[in-house]
Chains A and B, each alone.
Chain A
Amino acid sequence: MVSEEQFIKDLKELLATDEDIDMNTDLLEIDAWDSLSSAAFLAMINEKYGIDAEPFAVAEAIFVEDLYRIVK
């Protein structure tokens, strides 16, 4: 299972951002998280962690922790 630290590192890499992000960060507070990020996130976790998640799980995510729960 991917650690929280590695997950946040991968997420920041995906979004190409240096913003401060932790598990409690609201996704809307991340400037680099936009309407297209959900699809990119799904592709990333499939490629990096081999996880085929339900797209809606990303659509309803509010906090970074919600995204982490998908890969946990």
Chain B
Amino acid sequence: MSMIVTDYLDKTKEAFPDKVAFVDAKREITFQGLYDEALHVADALIERDLFKSPVLLFMEKSVSLVSCFAGTAYSGNFYSPIDTKMPQSRIEKILDTLDPAIVITDREHEEQVRSLIKGREILVFEDVMQRDYSEDNVKRIRPEISETDCLYVLFTSGSTGIPKGVMINHRAVVDFTDWISECYHFDETTVFANQAQLYFDLSIQDVYAPMRNGSTTVLIANRLYASPVRVWNTILKHEVNTLVWIPSMLSLFANLDVLANVKKAPLKTVLFCGEVMPVKQLNYWIKNYPDAVFANLYGPTECTEACTYYTIDREFNDDEVLPIGRPCDNTLALVMDENGTVITEPGKTGELYIGGICLSDGYYGDEERTRESFIQNPANKECPELVYKTGDLVAYNERGELVYVCRKDSQVKVRGYRVELGEIEAAASSIEMVSYCCCLFAPESEKLILVYTGSISEEEVTGILKSKLQDYMVPAKVVRRDQMLFSINGKIDRLALSKEYL
């Protein structure tokens, strides 16, 4: 029988039944407790004859939401968690695309869901927990679930304004969880402090590594990150030793000089993924935790989470760019030029194509966009083999490591010169008093605009950039803002900044 994510929990609840699996601000749950709650959810779905059907989860990040993930998986259905604070218009677009067979929410959001979502059955988590459940139902259905069945659909923004539902199957999540657990030695002593929302792919190991390894994940409400010291107190309280965070959040702790002013946490592993990690802020973390393992993970949602990785093994200057390293196990990473020729030599830039077990099955209900993005491997004419066009430009360095250059649409031409916006951002972010920055390009006027936050004047930033960059790369306009704009996933919101400045 093939391996699905709930097989992890079946084993772990036997090995560590009373060990705490997940903690949130309101409660904690053991592996046995998680199993029981998951089976309540699973049985409620099986009882309704739902199988291989989409289940919309409308709840805040919580232990209960994790129980719904596992329960939906046990039932042979697939889940799609959405942000409870999402605008109604976006929720409607997601409902149109997903057409969920059922919605699960909790008492806190029941009224909101009933007013937002009409004409669909709504289950309330607390009511489901009051019912009896049949373990036999779940065991009966297990052989019918395959590792290639969809586990979840995560919605990401689409360029047309219609969210794309990225489908990920059990096998991809199992493969990723196995890889990251082995590579970074996660076991029952590992304690994660979760930062990412659970509708964001960066949370995958926070959810599934405990089920595999008996680890514990502390689910920290995203609201708390407005108070970094309170986040740190939570980390200390639960003796967290592992972080897998977005670079912007690690940067926040560095910019506010938190680590030098608080008690040391037993941190052993700090991984980051989702955007470019500025080296200046990384060096701050390394200085404060010199014995911890730091690693740069790279991967689009379409490749589960990370598909390449680089464990920091040498020193970097503040204005250098970290490699994204090499492919994770069972992953193919191809760099191709505009003519479809595979690049293997250092220094040449090409688009990154990803293949392997990590690959999404495509966009839910959108064959056309799936066909555009998931194509036959141009380097393999003999056998069917799909690869994902990431839209990211990369190059090999002299050590044979992949280095992220920029988004394909971030490579621009200024006065005939090819300019990579990421290079300008790396130079700007290395300036000591700059906390966040983003470089934009106005195609009609061919002007570069740097937007930044920090306690340094626009004139000073321009002056420093002139000393670091070639003249055609120095932004024509440098704008200081009080606050950087970030997307719901915590990444710098380039689109919103473009609307404001271009």
A41 to chain B: closest residue by CB = B482
Give which listed residue, A43, A44, A52, A59, contacts B228 with CB less than 8 A. Answer: A59
Contact B256–A59 (Cβ < 8 Å): yes
Contact B227–A62 (Cβ < 8 Å): yes
Q: Say yes or no: is B223 at the interface (Cβ < 8 Å to chain A).
A: yes
Residues A59 and B455 in contact in the complex (CB < 8 Å), given A28-B223, A40-B483 = no
Q: How far is A56 from B257 in the complex, measured between Cα atoms in Å?
A: 6
- Which chain A residues lie closer than 8 Å to B228 at the CB level? 35, 38, 59
Q: Say yes or no: is A68 at the interface (Cβ < 8 Å to chain B).
A: no
Contact B226–A34 (Cβ < 8 Å): yes
Interface residues on A, range: 20 to 34
- Which chain B residues lie closer than 8 Å to A56 at the CB level? 256-258, 260-261
B453 to chain A: closest residue by CB = A39
B436 to chain A: closest residue by CB = A39
Q: How far is A18 from B480 in the complex, measured between Cα atoms in Å?
A: 25
- Which chain B residues lie closer than 8 Å to A59 at the CB level? 227-229, 253, 256-258, 261
Contact B257–A39 (Cβ < 8 Å): no
Q: How far is A22 from B361 in the complex, measured between Cα atoms in Å?
A: 52
Shortest C-beta distance, B68 to chain A (Å), equals: 26
Residues A43 and B227 in contact in the complex (CB < 8 Å), given A38-B252, A55-B257, A60-B261 = no
* Count of residues in B whose CB is under 8 Å from the partner chain: 27
A29 to chain B: closest residue by CB = B223
Residues A35 and B255 in contact in the complex (CB < 8 Å), given A40-B453, A43-B482, A44-B482 = no
- Which chain B residues lie closer than 8 Å to A28 at the CB level? 223-224, 226-227, 230
A46 to chain B: closest residue by CB = B455
- Which chain B residues lie closer than 8 Å to A43 at the CB level? 453-455, 480, 482
Give which listed residue, A33, A46, A55, contacts B226 with CB less than 8 A. Answer: A33
Residues A35 and B261 in contact in the complex (CB < 8 Å), given A40-B453, A52-B455 = no
Give which listed residue, B226, B261, B482, contacts A27 with CB less than 8 A. Answer: B226
Residues A38 and B256 in contact in the complex (CB < 8 Å), given A28-B227, A52-B455, A59-B229 = yes
Shortest C-beta distance, B488 to chain A (Å), equals: 12
Contact B483–A39 (Cβ < 8 Å): yes
- Which chain B residues lie closer than 8 Å to A25 at the CB level? none
B224 to chain A: closest residue by CB = A28
- Which chain B residues lie closer than 8 Å to A38 at the CB level? 228, 252, 256
Q: Say yes or no: is B435 at the interface (Cβ < 8 Å to chain A).
A: yes
Residues A14 and B229 in contact in the complex (CB < 8 Å), given A40-B453, A56-B258 = no
Task: Pick from A34, A35, A54, A55 the residue with the most CB of B within 10 Å.
Answer: A35
- Which chain A residues lie closer than 8 Å to B180 at the CB level? none
Shortest C-beta distance, B229 to chain A (Å), equals: 4
Q: Say yes or no: is A37 at the interface (Cβ < 8 Å to chain B).
A: yes
Q: Say yes or no: is B286 at the interface (Cβ < 8 Å to chain A).
A: no
Q: Say yes or no: is B486 at the interface (Cβ < 8 Å to chain A).
A: yes
Q: Say yes or no: is A42 at the interface (Cβ < 8 Å to chain B).
A: yes
A28-B226, A28-B227, A56-B257 are known; give 20 further A-B pairs, CB within 8 A. A14-B482, A27-B226, A27-B227, A28-B223, A28-B224, A28-B230, A35-B252, A36-B453, A36-B483, A39-B484, A44-B482, A52-B455, A54-B257, A56-B261, A59-B227, A59-B253, A59-B256, A59-B258, A60-B229, A62-B227
9 pairs of residues in contact across A and B, judged by CB atoms under 8 Å: A34-B225, A36-B486, A37-B226, A37-B483, A38-B252, A39-B256, A43-B455, A44-B482, A56-B256
Binding site for B on A (CB under 8 A): 14, 27-28, 33-40, 42-44, 46, 52, 54-56, 58-62
Binding site for A on B (CB under 8 A): 223-230, 249, 252-253, 255-258, 260-261, 435-436, 453-455, 480, 482-484, 486
